[in-house]
Amino acid sequence: MIANDRLLRALRRQPVDRTPIWLMRQAGRYLPEYRAVRARAGSFLAMAKDPATACEISLQPLRRFPLDAAILFSDILTVPDALGLGLHFAEGEGPRFARPLRDREAISALTADGLEERLSYVAEAVRLIRRELAGRVPLIGFAGSPLTLACYMIEGGSSADFALARAFAFAEPEAFAELLQLLTEATTRYLLMQRRAGADVLMLFDTWGTLFPPRLYRAFALPSLRAIAAGIRQADPEVPLILFGRGTGPWLEELAGLGYDALGLDWTVDLAEARRRVGDRVALQGNLDPAVLLADPAAIEAETERLLTAYAGAPGHVFNLGHGVSPGIDPDRVGFLIDCVARLSAPLHEAA
Ligand code: 1CP
């Protein structure tokens, strides 16, 4: 049993006393206590691969703020790493793979055999976090979407436009489809492993899918997202599923029919309009522009109020940012946002 079940209730579109809030990248470089652990550990990957450290970092934001959920501290790129691509983080440059996928042969050689064993450090982190939380709030496990992972695996690292990955989809459509199929299976198994280890909610991050032309998004993103939801539901009909995507404004109606309980929105979508479009088929999570946290408290309060008004206390809204907390944010501003959501949403839920 979970003492604070606001997130679970909102995802099921049940009434709550106030709107639940958690933040993407709530554990991260904006927190001095995170930077201290990172300095000791030496690197992001060293932290993520050590279950005790990952557990400690997941809990850091919850010690500071009355958040309604914890999220596993890890990264979406642990799956390609476990598939043999050799992940490392170059200082100040973001993720890099030692062995990116550059041709058909490299894709044919990939295998998901033994994936769970190679990612057992993640399962162990989930078990530790779950034990430390002791039922106070739910724990969110997560993975990257197959299309977003394929972007990084072909490109070899971060990119503004993932042009190499997009070119590959045109040049080698069959190999690209084969890669997505393998990643769909790997992602389903990885999420189910986190569920078995104790994750209460599972979330998929599709950060880059909508960089592709609509024809390719439809061909590659939608079927893999649907297959993952179906695969998880088959093994575990109850677990709440969240799908976050950037740039998904044009796709909301279709995404609402893929089998997820909630859609996470970036800030380019109007929340009230999104709610009208998806109706009561899914809950919505989001979508404060993270830049508001760089403005001033008056702006934070006004924008929070505006977003809460889109639901006016009706069930089915999880407050979040439209993307992760950026490293330059003042933690006090994050605390102020969380206070605003509690203070401004409670009367709306009481009245609704
Ligand atoms: O200390 C550091 O510099 C590491 C920064 C960092 C952190 C804190 C990275 C490297 N990953 C993470 C954690 C992380 N990544 C979480 C933890 C849980 C949380 O608190 O939310 C999650 C859910 C992710 C997911 C992730 N990683 C995504 C999807 C969501 C998104 O942000 O769009 C993506 C695209 C990544 C790749 C990645 N990992 C790290 C960085 C800096 C990036 C982005 C690289 C790029 O811009 O392409």
pLDDT tens digits for 241-270? 999 999 999 999 999 999 999 999 999 999
- Give pLDDT tens digits for 6-56: 999 999 999 999 999 999 999 999 999 999 999 999 999 999 999 999 999
The residues annotated as belonging to the active site are: 25, 29, 38, 75, 152
| 87 bridge partner residues | 97
List b or e across 153-189, with b for residues whose CB sees 16 or more CB atoms inside 10 angstroms: bbbbbebeebeebbebbeebeebbbebbebbbbbbbb
For residues 101 and 175, the answer to whether their CB atoms sit within 8 Å is no
Percentage with pLDDT > 90 across the chain? 98
Half-sphere exposure of 60 (CA within 13 A, CB side): 22
Contact by Cβ (8 Å): 320, 22 = yes
Closest CA to ligand 1's atom 22: 75
Domains in the chain, please, with CATH? 6-351 (3.20.20.210)
Ligand 1 contact, 44 CB (< 6 A)? yes
- Ligand 1: does its nearest atom lie under 6 Å from the Cβ of 97? no
Secondary structure class of 202 (helix, strand, coil): strand
* 3-class DSSP assignment, residue 242: strand
Cα(94) to ligand 1 centroid in Å equals 9
The mean per-residue pLDDT over the stretch 228-234 comes to: 98
Is residue 25 in contact with ligand 1, taking CB distance under 6 Å? Answer: yes
Residue nearest to atom 29 of ligand 1 (CA): 205
Q: What is the pLDDT of residue 115?
A: 98
Task: Note every long-range contact of 346-349, with CB atoms under 8 Å and residues 24 or more positions apart, other chains counting.
Answer: 346/17, 346/18, 347/313, 348/19, 348/308, 348/311, 348/312, 348/313, 349/15, 349/16, 349/17, 349/18, 349/19, 349/313
The 3-state DSSP class for residue 204 equals strand
What is the average pLDDT score of the chain? 97
- CA of 47, closest atom in ligand 1: 1
pLDDT at 308 over 80: yes
> Ligand 1 pocket, 324 CB below 6 A?
yes
pLDDT of 278 > 90? The answer is yes
User: pLDDT per residue over 152-206, tens digit each?
Assistant: 999 999 999 999 999 999 999 999 999 999 999 999 999 999 999 999 999 999 9
Atom nearest to 72 CA in ligand 1: 18
What span, in angstroms and rounded, lies between the C-alpha atoms of 38 and 44? Answer: 7
Residue 281 Cβ contacting ligand 1 at under 6 Å: no
Spell out the residues 6+ positions from residue 264 whose beta carbon is closer than 8 angstroms to its own.
24, 203, 242, 243, 244, 245, 284, 285, 286, 287, 320
For ligand 1, atom 36, which residue shows the shortest CA distance?
A: 76
CB 183 within 8 Å of CB 149? yes
Give the pLDDT of residue 320. 98
> What does the pLDDT read at residue 174?
97
For the stretch 87-91, contacts whose Cβ atoms lie closer than 8 Å and that sit 24 or more positions apart, written own/partner, are 87/45, 88/45, 89/43, 89/44, 89/45
Residue 323 has pLDDT above 80, yes or no: yes
Q: Is 28 in the pocket of ligand 1 (CB under 6 A)?
A: yes
Ligand 1 atom nearest residue 148's Cα:
35
Q: What is the pLDDT of residue 24?
A: 98
Indicate whether residue 96 lines ligand 1 (CB < 6 A).
Answer: no
Cα(55)–Cα(181) distance, integer angstroms? 31
Length of the chain: 352
- At position 227, the amino acid (one-letter code) is A
Q: What is the pLDDT, as a whole number, of residue 92? A: 76
- Distance in Å, CA 64 to ligand 1 centroid: 21
Query: Before 4, cis peptide (omega within 30)?
Result: no
Q: Which pLDDT belongs to residue 352?
A: 87
| Spacing, Cα 141 to ligand 1 middle (Å) | 14
- Establish whether residue 142 lines the binding site of ligand 1, counting it when its CB lies within 6 angstroms of any ligand atom: yes
Report the Cα 22 to chain-centroid distance in Å: 11
Q: What is the pLDDT of residue 289?
A: 98
- Residue 331 CA to ligand 1 centre (angstroms): 18
- Closest residue by Cα to atom 47, ligand 1, is 158
Closest approach atom of ligand 1 to CA 144: 29
Distance from residue 276's CA to the centre of ligand 1 (Å)? 31
CA 75–ligand 1 middle distance (angstroms): 6
Q: Which pLDDT score, from 0 to 100, does residue 197 have?
A: 98
What are the pLDDT digits (tens) for 60-99? 999 999 999 999 999 999 999 999 999 999 777 899 999 9
pLDDT recorded at residue 90: 78
pLDDT, mean of residues 135-158? 98
Q: Is 95 in the pocket of ligand 1 (CB under 6 A)?
A: yes
Look at residue 1 and tell me whether its pLDDT is greater than 90: no
Q: Which atom of ligand 1 is nearest to the CA of 38?
A: 1
When pLDDT is averaged across residues 285-309 and rounded to a whole number, the result is 98
Decide whether any atom of ligand 1 lies within 6 Å of the 26 Cβ. Answer: yes
Q: What is the pLDDT of residue 80?
A: 98
What pLDDT is stored for residue 91 in this prediction?
77
What is the distance between the alpha carbons of residues 19 and 271, in angstroms, rounded to a whole number?
14
